[in-house]
Structure 1
Amino acid sequence: MTGLLGQELGLTPLGGLDGIPRTDTPQKAKDFTSDQEVRWCPGCGDYVILAAVRSLLPELGIRRENIVFVSGIGCSSRFPYYLDTYGVHSIHGRAPTLATGLAVTRPDLSVWVVTGDGDALSIGGNHLVHTLRRNVNMRILLFNNRIYGLTKGQFSPTSELGKVTKSTPAGSVDAPFNTMSLALGAEATFVARALDSDREGLKEVLRAAARHRGTAFVEILQDCPIFNDGSFDVLRKDEAPAHLIRLRHGEPIVFGVDDELCVVQRGFGLRVERRVDVDPSDIVVHDAYTDDPEYVYALSRLSDQDLTYTVVGIVRQVTRTTYDDAARDQIARARETEAADLQALLAGDNTWTVS
């Protein structure tokens, strides 16, 4: 699927790594490890994510000086210090804004944003949704631990109803964001989710995000052992098979112990049913490349009377012209067709003199 804007401008979408200088020198994870001491709380899920990113970057085969990580404010936002690439520790919620400027002006960079549920979805909510809508060529890694960790345990925009925290001693009355539904509603071209404890699944998602051209949104469910310990235990322990749905493009959506559960389409929506009760041909085969927004939105909100299901893997991966490609093309066309005359602009018909 190529966006209408791209068709009008005659642009052809490229791969996420196209135009970025490559290296012929073999790289290892240690080549992307800075000399800074990693300082997160013991047991924090951020350690696993950092290790996964460090092991992924050598696979991309691009020069370290052509990679930049931009972060906002929060525990996750210390990320750029621990990578031997370029990095920007920016201001609260505004990392996508700085990253947009880099993506537009420096097409030779692989741009990454590291943010948290508080940083991205509270003060940074406006910046996040418009970056997704514009489809700027960057990767956004949202670390979701359902709590404010850096400021010592206040509820966040993803904390569950009734959550007791230092700022909600009687329980939160805020309805939390469904982050995946939010990203899909903003027309993100790449939407995925992973668990910090599933390193292989996390790397698989990150690998695809790195190669996607456009805004790749990856939510990573991670534990805060100090202020929200065990927030995702239901997805890790014995109960996990009944709650966790792993998506793979082109494969039937089945899950549970011995794959006894499946996803089927009923009417205009999706439902979870027992496989023994349905015809095999009714089981939904996951299509990450579909341009059907209703299907992927329904996947992000699977639930029944008793359970809420969590999908992990790549939910959506489609192609649309990126904002930065379109902006650079527009500037190039203007330079070809219009003479730059600053004086004529200043003294033109759109100016007047106040006496």
Structure 2
Amino acid sequence: MTEYTSKDFKKGQPRWCPGCGDHFFLASLHKAMAEIGIAPYETAVISGIGCSSRLPYYMNTYAMQTIHGRAAAIATGCKVANPDLTIWQISGDGDGLAIGGNHFIHAIRRNVDINMILLNNRIYGLTKGQYSPTSPRGFVSKSSPYGTVEDPFHPAELCFGARGRFFARCVATDAPGTVDVLKASVAHKGAAVVEVMQNCVIFNNGTHESIYTKEGRAKHAIYVEHGKPLLFGENNEYGLMQQGFGLKVVKLGENGITEKDILVHDAHCEDDTLQLKLALMDGPDFPIALGVIRDVAAPTYEAAVNEQIQTVGAKKPYHNFNELLMTNDTWVVE
């Protein structure tokens, strides 16, 4: 088996603003691809339009930048026509969830085996600072100078609502965490959504400030891992317990609470109730969940389509165009 390094997947000189989260993510993607071990010629990276969608230019793989919001549609066609290719779809929160929102949910619903990377900086960066579908209510931008009057999308909620089978989250500056979820997304057969929390230093600096540093993540994030108790804090002194249909934060040692009382994460559970609760945690009272939150097996779209073609084709009296012509009456013009 050929061993690859990050250099095998690198190409060109990235042109993003210094400090942009895209730089961090690209480095992690190169590293993850090397560790996954799938050859560059067996890989395709497809994007739409936006800052993050420049990424295919920096990949030594098959790559294509498509049009605004259509990355999922092109990626779907690519996977169905070339089922042996590993497909990465790169979209920003604007490209993926605004004009591309319908393609996003239907690719998930169909369970097409593509790795759908959503780089979420809560802003339109390439077009110079308009609010996006993930910008919070009241957000002041060039297109909302008095603050937005809309509630944002939660990418996890869209994914789960579209019957998504895989959802993971990472922070662009957290290289080990990012590499781990990217490797898990490839191991999952089906639509795998990875939300990457990243910063836009020019138009939305600090949007993920609470978890953008290692110290911040120790205080404000929880790394979820299948089969492991849901513990967090600088010394794993806090945990999550179920309270009714929701969750509550508890401190170990208080009121006799021990690690045995803490919920154990089940990413493979068909019932997504608790997984969605984890994915939607936010704010001062709860940590932000990072890692693989949901990972459930299901039939993939492209496998079902190709199986159907084979089944139907086997019953037909013809298998190519010449045989089709011969199934009808023929005559010769002299």
Same fold (TM over 0.5): yes
Say what the alpha-carbon RMSD is for the aligned residues: 2.0
Q: Which residue of 1 aligns with 2:260?
A: 281
Higher RCO (Cα < 8 Å, 6 or more apart): 1
Q: Which residue of 2 aligns with 1:86?
A: 62
**Whole-Å separation in 2 of the counterparts to 1:326 and 1:76:** 31
Q: Which residue of 2 aligns with 1:323?
A: 301
The alignment status of 1:337 with 2:315, answered yes or no, reads yes
State the one-letter code of the partner of 1:324.
E
State the one-letter code of the partner of 1:297.
L
1:254 to 231, 255, 274: 231
2:7 to 12, 30, 37: 30
Shift of 1:339: 2.6
Q: Which residue of 2 aligns with 1:272?
A: 249
1:142 to 91, 114, 118: 118
**Whole-Å separation in 1 of the counterparts to 2:138 and 2:217:** 23
Look up the SS of the partner of 1:259 in the other structure: coil
Deviation digits for residues 91-137 of structure 1, max 9, x if unmatched?
11111111111111111201110000000110101000010111101
Shift of 1:88: 0.8
The alignment status of 1:157 with 2:130, answered yes or no, reads no
1:51 to 27, 49, 53: 27
Identify which range, 178-187 or 316-325, moves more after superposition: 178-187
**Whole-Å separation in 2 of the counterparts to 1:60 and 1:282:** 36
Look up the SS of the partner of 2:235 in the other structure: helix
**Whole-Å separation in 1 of the counterparts to 2:212 and 2:76:** 35
**Whole-Å separation in 1 of the counterparts to 2:9 and 2:52:** 17
- Relative to the length of structure 1, the TM-score reads 0.86
Do the aligned partners of residues 345 and 254 (structure 1) sit closer, same or farther apart at CA in structure 2, a change above 3 Å counting?
farther
The runs of 5 or more residues in structure 1 that have no matched partner are: 1-23, 347-355
State the one-letter code of the partner of 1:26.
E
- Relative to the length of structure 2, the TM-score reads 0.91
Q: Which residue of 2 aligns with 1:352?
A: none
Shift of 1:26: 2.9
The runs of 5 or more residues in structure 2 that have no matched partner are: 329-334
Q: Which residue of 1 aligns with 2:156?
A: 180
Q: Which residue of 2 aligns with 1:290?
A: 269
Do the aligned partners of residues 259 and 62 (structure 1) sit closer, same or farther apart at CA in structure 2, a change above 3 Å counting?
closer
Shift of 1:269: 1.8
Aligned residues: 322
Shift of 1:33: 1.3
1:66 to 39, 42, 49: 42
Q: Which residue of 1 aligns with 2:97?
A: 121
Look up the SS of the partner of 2:55 in the other structure: helix
Shift of 1:179: 1.0
